[in-house]
Each structure stands twice: as C-alpha cells, then as structure tokens.
Structure 1
C-alpha cells in the first residue's frame, strides 16, 4: 500500500518506512556522526549525488531523514528539513528567501522569539519587517511593496488565538510572486494543512505537539518543492549548522504515532475549558476559535479539522489578578511551551512574549494580563476543578 493511499493515522505510523536488515519494528537510532565508504569511487558517487547514501549527520542521517519524510507526508509536502529547534527552522527559512534590502511582512501577533528575530535580529542584516493585522486582508494588500519577499504568519496565533484565512493570503501573495511561510505548530498537520491552501513552506516547533511528551527539542520545515528543500537543507541548515540530533528525531517519530489521538483530546479538553471560562463571572474575555463568538470561528471551521488545544483568556481586574490566578493553581503547571501531556499555564507578556513592549501589547492583539492555557491530556473534570478552585481563591 503506497503512502498516498493511506489515511493520516496510518501515515503517522508507517509513512516512508525504511526496511532495516534486522527487521526492527521501530526504526533504529543511527547515533553516528560519520558514515564510511568502501572506496574513493563510492565516496565520489555519494558526494555527487549519483548514489543515495550518507556522509555526515549534519547533512543527512537515516533516522532524521525518516522524520523529515514522515512529517512531509502528513503535511502533504514532498520532503522536509529537520532543525535543532523551531527557531532554527523559522530563521533559516526566512533567510532562504531574503537578502539585504528586502522586506518581510509578518502578522502582528507571533511567538515571542519569532517576533524578536524579525524585529531586532533581521534588521542588523538589512532585512526589515512590517507587522500588520493579516485578519484584515485590505491592510495586508496595502502593506505589500516592491521589496516584499515573504509573508510570515501563524494561525491560530500565539497567544491571542487570531485566525488568518490561509487561502486568501496565499492568493494575495501569488499575485506578486511573494512566498508565504506559515508556522503550523498550534494546529499540527492533523488539524490544518497549509500547503494544500497555497502556502509555500510550513514550519513547526516540533518540540510541542509533534513530540507531545516534553522531552525533545526540534524544528522542521516542509515544502512541495523538492529543489527548495535541497537548497534549504544544504545551503542553510548545513551551513548554519542547526542540525537535529538523531535521538531527538527518534523521539519525534514516536510522538507522531499518537498525534491524531492526542490532538483530539487536546482539542476536546480546550473546548471544555473555554466554555467553562466563558460562563464564569470573573472572566472578562475568552479567546478560543472553537467558540461561535470568536471573530475567526467561520474561517477556522473551513480550514481546520478541529480548533486545537490552546485557550487564552483575561480575568476582570489587572495583572496582579492574573498572577494570583496562576500562582494558586495546583494541578496545572506554570511553564513556557505547550503541547505536552500535562496542562501548562503562563502569562505570555511576562514569559514567552517579553520582547513585546508593554505599551504596544494591545496593538498586537493581547494584554499584559492575558493568560494562556495549553490543555493537556488529563481528565477534563480535573483540569476544570483546578481552574475553578483558583478562581474561587482570586474571588
């Protein structure tokens, strides 16, 4: 049975299988830096790509390549490039499309380090970024200029949970041959497949839902263009050196096997948390695309299979109220990151999104007191009971 004939759940376990001579059920971890040759002719054939083989793990490794090909199959891409972290993937992909004097247009609300790289790092190399509200397509069109080479966005966004119409953005970009790069970390390919909506490259912090166990750091980029994948791998990942460990690739392959089951539970728990919060008189605003009151609900219904595991909200009161809430929680863990089996909570403006200036937060779609919950896999009644007892203490 070919990969293209299998359903998502099966692809997550079997796509791009490598047949090892020892017939191991789980693919071996090739923990080696270097691969050997029988003679110089074999070495020459390998370096000139006449022979498909491995030289050095920075440029290729069987365990890493299996992860790249499997995630590509799930995203509907031709191949992928694995990186040491999600940020290595994001910065390498953006750098692969721009040079000094070019411009990136990014959505106003991004993961804090992605915002920091575009706001502070890239200008040092002559690449400027405009931050716009991509939920407003007219604002996006007005922002595009002759120097614009890349549109970069997340959807749902972190942490304000805004929804961006991927198909519409891709059509706008195509008119001017602009590349669209989408961070699909929150949704995963199980819930959303941006490449099928016209996006050029999808990136992930594989540390999050793809791993699912909070024990591996990694990133990956996927495209439908094989020539671009070669360019990204050998021209950027190898040269900049952000290579993934084979052991982490093996852990991520393990995570992929249960991705669909976990995303269903994460999404179900998040919906129950959002509904509970929406009914509580101490809660001022709930940001979750699964709610019909969410401004991006209809777009999310169209381009997502479900609404994901992240809920952001604000309590009535100020930052001190938000601090009291998170510090009174017992089951929920105060931590950065997301997508783990454990339910995690944070105040983004104090933690993952510290690069945003306090006076500009509202412009970027969230507030200093915004709280973000990553719904874990625990029983929803226990998660909600902990939220409830903390809200009662705040009251």
Structure 2
C-alpha cells in the first residue's frame, strides 16, 4: 500500500456512535467507573492514556512501521523521557551535527545526573566503533542532520551499535516516514518533533517516539511519561492526526520546490555553498538513494562573508518569513548560529531554509532580489 493511502486509513476512523467521518476530540481528563468500581474501558485518567492520543499513536505505528508509539508534548519531551529511561553511569553516543537541543539536554540536565555522552562524526565508522563502550546504551542518529544536512548510514550504524549491545535512535523529523523509515533500516526507536512536518501548519507543539519492539525498555519510557506527565493535549493530538492526512502530498510538493530553489542557489556568485541532499555534488549521493525516497525540503546556505552578511541577506527577503522552526506550509528562514547561541558549531555565514508550499518561481524571485542587494 502506498504511503498516501496508509496515511488516510491510519487517521480515518469514523465515530462508531455517531458515524462522524472526522474522529472526535475526547477532552475528558477522567473516566467514570460503574457501580462495582470498574472502568468500562481502557481509559482511567488522561495523563496515562486518552482516546485521541491513542488514535495518533496508532497512526504513527502504521506510518513508521513500529510496534508501539508514545506521543509527547514536544520533541524535547520525547527525547528527555528516553534519556530518563537510562541509568546513571550509562553512556550515549550522539552525532557531532545533531540538533543543538539534544546535546544541550545531555550536557545541562543528564550529565550532572550521571549520564555520560560522546559526540562523534557518524560518517567515520572507525571513530564510531572506538567510541562504543561497554556502558553505551543508546546511539543517537539524526539524518539528514540539522543544520548541515549530513547523511548517516543507518544500516551500518545499526550494525555497529547492535554488536556493542546498544539501541539506535533516529531523529526522523526532517525526512519524515514519507522519505525514510529508520525501523526498516534496523533502527530501534524513531523520534519526531511532530511540531514540524507531521502536523505541518506551525500551529501545534508535539513530539513522538515510535518503537520497533514493545519491550521492557518501551514499557520503562511509557512509565516515565505517565509519571512525569509529558503528554500532549487531546486537541494537539487531533491537529497532528489531521496533518498526517496530507503529509505525503505536502512533503513531495515542498521537496520539488526545494530542489528548484537549491539548483538556483547552487553556483550563485553570492553563495559560498548550498547544503542540500538533492544536489548532484552532495558527497553522500549514493547513500541518499539507498535509504531515502527523496532529498526533502530543507536546505542550508552559506553566503560569502560572515554573520553580518547572512543576517543582511535574510533581512532583505519579502516573501520568506524570518522565523525558527520548519515543516510548515509557509517558507521560513533563519540565521542558525544566532538561534543556537554562543556555543554553536554552526558556521556564522549559514542560514537555514524550510521550503513551504509557495510557488517555486516566487521563492526564487524573492531570494534573487535579496542576493542582488548583497553586492
């Protein structure tokens, strides 16, 4: 079955009582017991489970090919619950080019608690193998990475990690299951910021974990979520489920436009370098074809000059909005180093562009006039 069909079937659940085609939003925080003090169904209290949240989790299981799923109030909440399921003294391996919030969480919250971590170039398999220790429990991958769009060979990393007894977690936010299914590539857990492409309209905050197995580790994460209350609201879950219906159509349209934009920017005299998996000169071109169904709709651009030049460039844009986040229907651009702060490893002349659903010619015209003003 093709992805678009699966997305509709996974989220199309007519109400069995009313026949409503659109699934209802269950806002109840608690559920009544009968005279014998028994719950009539599986729901008791919304922090533990909720019908609307459960519907979203079942859809994510279908789309990512997992066995269990947990929806969270944000991507960072999902990441935090997973790390909380580890023990003091455990070790995490994370890519050098990971979303800055992931190592920040490890350094600021979990390192003082006793969790150790190492950052490594995931494309250097010798370095990865040398960094795997007896106490390594999780290898955290992100591909394409944020913001440099480097590609991780998930099959090879999974093999190395599993040989060392570690779980592989893949942040699949940028690729989405439309373009990449990490569980099919031997990863154990998939993480999503559902704020981004899965919801797709810049109007909901959310996260998710999808597990290859419903095992003891999965149960531990589920327990932590229930105890800590890192859950999304029913309305937020409903919004993400609604976004899933059009995910395939949106991503493919955005990707086609992103390719046109990247082709225009590549070789432009004001541009030093374009980072986009769809370019013929991308160093991981063969790997991209092997594990992805397309290059996605995110690209990063380094202008000639420094931070001032990058900021001046995006300041001239008329159509593309200067804002953090990605995956929405509107195109967004940001000076990434400014967002990440003083500890950033991102080049100062780099801007990150999330391509939306505007027409490619209009986006290119906006970028062209802004670049012309740099001279």
CA contact (8 A) 2:133 2:164 kept: no
TM-score, normalising length: structure 1: 0.92
After TM superposition, list the pairs within 5 Å mapping 1:374-385 onto structure 2: 374-385=354-365
Cα distance in structure 2, aligned partners of 1:28 and 1:288: 40
Of 26, 31, 34, 1:35 maps to: 31
Q: Return 5+ residue gaps in structure 1 as ranges.
A: 1-5, 47-51
Give me the whole-angstrom Cα distance separating, in 1, the residues matched to 2:113 and 2:185: 31
In 1, Cα distance between equivalents of 2:59 and 2:66: 10
Residue aligning to 2:76: 87
CA deviation after TM superposition for structure 1 residue 145, in Å: 1.1
CA deviation vs aligned residue, 1:72-93 (integer Å, no higher than 9, x gap): 1000012210000010011111
Report how far residue 167 of structure 1 moved.
0.6
Aligned-pair distance for 1:210? 0.4
State whether structure 2 residue 31 is matched by structure 1 residue 21. no
* TM-score (norm: length of structure 2): 0.97
3-state SS of the aligned residue for 1:311? strand
CA RMSD of aligned residues (A): 1.4
Please show how residues 38-77 of structure 1 align to structure 2 within 5 Å. Answer: 38-43=34-39, 52-77=41-66
- 5 Å-filtered alignment, 1:1-395, equals 6-15=1-10, 17=13, 19-43=15-39, 52-96=41-85, 98-227=86-215, 228-233=217-222, 235-351=223-339, 353-354=340-341, 357-358=343-344, 361=345, 366-395=346-375
Q: Give the C-alpha shift of residue 224 in structure 1.
A: 2.0
Q: Which is further off, 239-248 or 223-232?
A: 223-232
> Residue deviations 1:255-279, cap 9 Å, x none?
0000000010111111111111112
Matches of 1:305 and 1:93, distance apart in 2: 28
Gapped runs of 5+ residues in structure 2? none
Describe the superposition over 1:200-243 as per-residue Cα deviations: whole angstroms up to 9, x where unpaired.
1001000000010011110010012123443322x111112111
Contact 2:91 2:117 in 1 (8 A): yes
Post-superposition offset of 1:19:
4.4
Partners of 2:167 and 2:212 in 1: how far apart? 13
User: How many angstroms apart in 2 are the aligned matches of 1:39 and 1:223?
Assistant: 38
Distance in 2 (alpha carbons) for counterparts of 1:133 and 1:73: 31
Q: By how many angstroms is 1:115 displaced?
A: 2.2
Structure 2 Cα separation of the partners of residues 122 and 296 of structure 1: 33
Please state whether the residue corresponding to 1:394 is helix, strand or coil.
Answer: coil
Query: How many angstroms apart in 1 are the aligned matches of 2:21 and 2:161?
Result: 44
SS state of the match for residue 371, structure 1? strand
